[in-house]
């Protein structure tokens, strides 16, 4: 039988001299015996070499918005040229200790599923099931006219044929700086040829949610259902700066479900967290797996 706690005192900020093991132990006691849904952000994937937008040491960037992408072929050519290089880096990335720890939580029956804000597919590569990609996936491409989808690998072949030697020429100029969201830093894209939908000639777009674009309603509804089906929430690697993730944390808190947050730096959900751990996910999550396995049969569901 599930136990629901309706209120708690928000966790105090994590101090720099706080022992991470003590905080992880506290988090394990809070989550013990509770079916936990996991919400992840970019901080889970940075150890895999995928840069982010909002960590304390992230490089300031101006990502393309959906308005820009739709406004002109020049913007779309610029995007696809950069993506033609950057997606390979994301495709080659492998899961790190944080992804594997979340998979371990699922396999141990401690986590019910993963809601991720990342588009890198690393949770799937790590073996997590189910995984809900609320911002889409770099591995799919969609036609904005007919809705046809295809794999990014298939589009890569078409782009290679349309732009023979492009990647090699760019690499010849020096190292390529990789940006978030399967992008790369590239200024001159004037000679790149974009490819339209093979079925209808429409505009192709990565099947990801751009800045300024809304998460599809069915995806939002499924995420809320995953939160409702769980007894607690674990947030890993997200500053919760955007509402697409924060709304699920607030929903969990309003429903009386404890929220544990592991993230470097402040998050917008700290005020409703039962436990906040200001540390790297790849260090804390494996620790939390071991502690949760050990404490689950013995610890009550009361907040500590």
**Whole-number pLDDT of residue 1:** 32
Same domain, 221 and 253: yes
Between CA 49 and CA 179 the distance in angstroms is 10
Looking at the annotation, which residues are catalytic?
A: 135
Between CA 238 and CA 267 the distance in angstroms is 7
Same domain, 199 and 219: no
Give me the average pLDDT of each 10-residue run along the chain (304 residues): 34 54 93 96 94 60 82 92 88 96 96 97 97 95 96 95 86 64 73 94 94 93 98 97 95 98 96 96 96 63 40
Same domain, 180 and 143: yes
**Whole-number pLDDT of residue 259:** 98
**Whole-number pLDDT of residue 14:** 45
From start to end of the chain, where are the E strands?
36-40, 111-116, 131-133, 136-143, 149-151, 178-179, 183-184, 204-208, 232-236, 259-262, 275-277
In a domain, 60, yes or no: no
Full domain range(s) for residue 129: 20-48+96-135+215-295
In a domain, 249, yes or no: yes
Q: What is the CATH number of the domain that holds 244?
A: 3.40.50.1220
Strand order of the β-sheet with 259-262 is 131-133, 111-116, 36-40, 232-236, 259-262, 275-277
């Amino acid at each position: 039988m599930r136990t629901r706690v309706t209120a708690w005192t928000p966790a105090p900020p994590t101090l720099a001299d706080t022992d991470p093991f003590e905080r992880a132990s506290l988090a394990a006691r809070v989550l013990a015996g509770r079916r936990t849904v996991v919400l992840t952000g970019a901080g889970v994937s940075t150890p895999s070499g995928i840069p982010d937008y909002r960590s304390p040491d992230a490089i300031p960037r101006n990502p393309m918005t959906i308005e820009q992408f739709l406004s002109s072929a020049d913007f779309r050519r610029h995007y696809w040229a950069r993506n033609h290089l950057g997606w390979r880096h994301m495709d080659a990335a492998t899961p790190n200790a944080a992804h594997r720890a979340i998979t371990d939580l699922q396999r141990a029956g401690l986590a019910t599923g993963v809601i991720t804000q990342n588009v890198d597919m690393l949770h799937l590569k790590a073996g997590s099931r189910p995984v809900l990609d609320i911002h889409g996936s770099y591995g799919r491409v969609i036609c904005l006219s007919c809705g046809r989808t295809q794999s990014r690998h298939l589009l890569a072949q078409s782009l290679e044929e349309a732009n023979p030697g492009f990647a090699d020429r760019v690499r010849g100029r020096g190292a390529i700086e990789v940006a978030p969201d399967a992008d790369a830093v590239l200024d001159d894209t004037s000679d790149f040829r974009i490819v339209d939908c093979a079925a209808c000639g429409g505009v192709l777009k990565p099947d990801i949610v751009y800045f300024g674009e809304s998460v599809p309603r069915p995806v939002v509804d499924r995420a809320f259902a995953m939160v409702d089906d769980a007894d607690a929430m674990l947030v890993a690697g997200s500053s919760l700066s955007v509402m697409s993730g924060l709304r699920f944390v607030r929903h969990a808190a309003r429903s009386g479900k404890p929220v544990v947050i592991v993230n470097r730096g402040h998050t917008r959900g700290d005020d409703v967290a039962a436990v906040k751990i200001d540390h790297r996910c790849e260090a804390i999550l494996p620790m939390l797996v071991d502690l949760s396995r050990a404490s689950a049969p013995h610890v009550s569901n009361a907040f500590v």
